[in-house]
Amino acid sequence: MTIKVLVVHDSAFTCRDLAPYLHERGVDMNLIPLKSLFRTTLDIRESKEDLIHANYIRSPAYACYLSRKRPYLLHAHGDDVRYGLSFWQKRAIARASGIFYSTTDLQDKVKGVHIPQPVDVEKFQPSGRIKREKKAVYFLQTTSDPRIRQNESVYLEGIRSICAKENLELVVPPKMSIPYAKMPEFLQGFDTFFDREFPKTYSKTALESIVAGCKVYPEYVPVSDQLKYVLDTHDVRKVADKVKTEYEKILRDYSGHN
Instruction: Express each pLDDT in 169-205 by its tens digit.
Output: 999 998 778 899 999 999 998 989 998 777 678 889 9
Indicate the residue type of 164. Answer: A
Residue 126: is it exposed, middle or buried by C-beta count within 10 angstroms (0-12/13-18/19+)? middle
Which has the minimum average pLDDT: 17-31, 135-149, 167-181?
Answer: 135-149
pLDDT tens-digit series, residues 151-163: 778 888 999 999 9
Residue 254: is it exposed, middle or buried by C-beta count within 10 angstroms (0-12/13-18/19+)? middle
Which of the pair, 174 or 47, is modelled with greater confidence? Answer: 47
Which of the pair, 63 or 185, is modelled with greater confidence? Answer: 63
pLDDT tens-digit series, residues 73-107: 999 998 899 888 999 999 999 999 999 999 998 99
* pTM exceeds 0.75, yes or no: yes
Residue 217: what pLDDT?
Answer: 79
Which of the pair, 167 or 155, is modelled with greater confidence? Answer: 167
Residue 145: what pLDDT?
Answer: 61
Residue 151: what pLDDT?
Answer: 75
Question: Does residue 148 surpass a pLDDT of 70?
Answer: no
Indicate the residue type of 155. Answer: Y
Question: Does residue 141 surpass a pLDDT of 60?
Answer: yes
- Domains within the chain, CATH numbers bracketed: 3-117+235-256 (3.40.50.2000), 122-233 (3.40.50)
What percent of the chain is modeled with pLDDT above 90? 67
Kindly list the distances between the CA atom of residue 247 and the CA atoms of 48, 83, 99, 185, 241, in Å, as whole numbers in the listed order: 16, 27, 11, 33, 10
Model confidence band, residue 249 (pLDDT cutoffs 50, 70, 90): very high
Residue 149: what pLDDT?
Answer: 65
Residue 119: what pLDDT?
Answer: 96
Distance of CA 195 to the CA centre of its chain: 14
Model confidence band, residue 27 (pLDDT cutoffs 50, 70, 90): very high
